[in-house]
């Protein structure tokens, strides 16, 4: 259970909608602030922004005299992230936990034409390609402090920076606030793991799964069992493994719906995030504002995936 909830901390989206002064959280509710705040992007919106960034990068690279291919190998439905709580029964019935999608995604990355194109360039043109794409060795370094300590760094320049600037305005501010907003779980992970509302909901989910003939302690355990079964059966029995994956995933999603596990997980995540608003609220709101601005621009650049 402890390990599984660590997984929850890393995959539940930052969904703060209220503002709290701390409180004891005993009733599961955080004090509310009536002022509207920027909303976090949905995964569909995030994907469209990513596609727009690729389109802008491609256009920039073409102006620099290079060919560049966009990566749109997965459909919109295939691109849906599988988080700790997966309660879309129809999606599970079609894709299971996304095992086949992971294989397809790996093949898409391995056959990425940009890598092949770059390797076939002369040494001098390869350096020029790298410089055009991300600034090469002369790119500036962005840094972002992490809420739990330490910092992240990345190089930015060239067409990558141009695309980010066109979408977000300031790549440095986007990077800095993004690492803060998405790294806050490091500050409340232990409390969330021990939260009585969440652990009660997971136990209810586990009882539901046991009644369905799949006695798993938590969603992570169910998925690990599915992966282990796929390895055991091997490539020659991949069809059998996927059929088992879908059955477990459907039971998982059905039990998540019956026990309202997603609603509980979201509410508890929101509560712990709200307690950090006095320290990080401005960064969270800035990150969301920049993301929303990027999405508003993205819809004028690329269509949503089919």
pLDDT for 208 beyond 80:
yes
Evaluate whether residue 20 is within a structural domain.
no
Evaluate whether residue 270 is within a structural domain.
yes
pLDDT for 281 beyond 90:
yes
Evaluate whether residue 19 is within a structural domain.
no
More confident residue, 7 or 120: 120
User: pLDDT tens digits for 50-79?
Assistant: 999 999 999 999 999 999 999 999 999 999
User: pLDDT tens digits for 98-113?
Assistant: 999 999 999 999 999 9
pLDDT for 214 beyond 90:
yes
pTM summary value = 0.85
Evaluate whether residue 16 is within a structural domain.
no
Alpha-helical segments (H) within the chain: 2-11, 43-63, 89-95, 99-110, 113-119, 123-134, 158-168, 171-181, 185-193, 196-211, 219-233, 238-258, 261-274, 277-298
Evaluate whether residue 91 is within a structural domain.
no
Evaluate whether residue 303 is within a structural domain.
no
User: pLDDT tens digits for 1-20?
Assistant: 444 444 444 434 433 333 33
User: pLDDT tens digits for 187-206?
Assistant: 998 899 899 999 999 999 99
Domain tally, the chain = 1
pLDDT for position 197:
97
Please name the residues in contact with 164: beta carbons below 8 A apart, sequence gap of 6 or more: 53, 156, 171, 174
Evaluate whether residue 32 is within a structural domain.
no
Domain span holding position 121: 2-8+39-79+98-298
Evaluate whether residue 47 is within a structural domain.
yes
The phi, psi pair for 118, rounded to 5°, reads -65, -45
């Amino acid at each position: 259970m402890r390990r599984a909830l660590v997984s929850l901390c890393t995959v539940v989206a930052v969904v703060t909608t209220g503002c709290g002064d701390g409180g004891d959280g005993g009733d599961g509710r955080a004090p509310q602030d009536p002022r509207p705040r920027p909303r976090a992007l949905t995964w569909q919106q995030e994907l469209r922004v990513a596609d727009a960034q690729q389109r802008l990068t491609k256009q920039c690279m073409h102006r620099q005299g290079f060919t560049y291919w966009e990566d749109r190998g997965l459909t919109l439905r295939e691109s849906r992230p599988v988080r700790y709580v997966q309660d879309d029964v129809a999606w599970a019935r079609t894709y299971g936990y996304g095992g086949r999608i992971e294989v397809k995604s790996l093949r898409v990355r391995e056959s990425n034409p940009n890598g092949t194109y770059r390797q076939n360039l002369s040494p001098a043109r390869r350096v020029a390609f790298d410089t055009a794409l991300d600034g090469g060795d002369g790119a500036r370094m962005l840094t972002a402090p992490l809420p739990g300590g330490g910092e992240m760094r990345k190089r930015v320049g060239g067409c990558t920076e141009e695309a980010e600037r066109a979408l977000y305005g300031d790549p440095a501010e986007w990077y800095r606030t993004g690492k803060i907003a998405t790294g806050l779980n490091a500050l409340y992970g232990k409390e969330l793991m021990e939260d009585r509302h969440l652990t009660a909901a997971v136990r209810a989910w586990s009882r539901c799964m046991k009644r369905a003939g799949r006695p798993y302690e938590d969603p992570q355990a169910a998925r690990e069992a599915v992966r282990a079964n796929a390895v055991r059966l091997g490539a020659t029995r991949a069809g059998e493994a996927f059929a088992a994956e879908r059955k477990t995933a459907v039971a998982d999603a059905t039990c998540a719906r019956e026990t309202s596990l997603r609603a509980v997980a979201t509410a508890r995540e929101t509560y712990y995030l709200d307690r950090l608003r006095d320290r990080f609220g401005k960064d969270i709101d800035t990150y969301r504002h920049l993301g929303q601005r990027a999405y508003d621009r993205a819809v004028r650049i690329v269509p949503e995936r089919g």
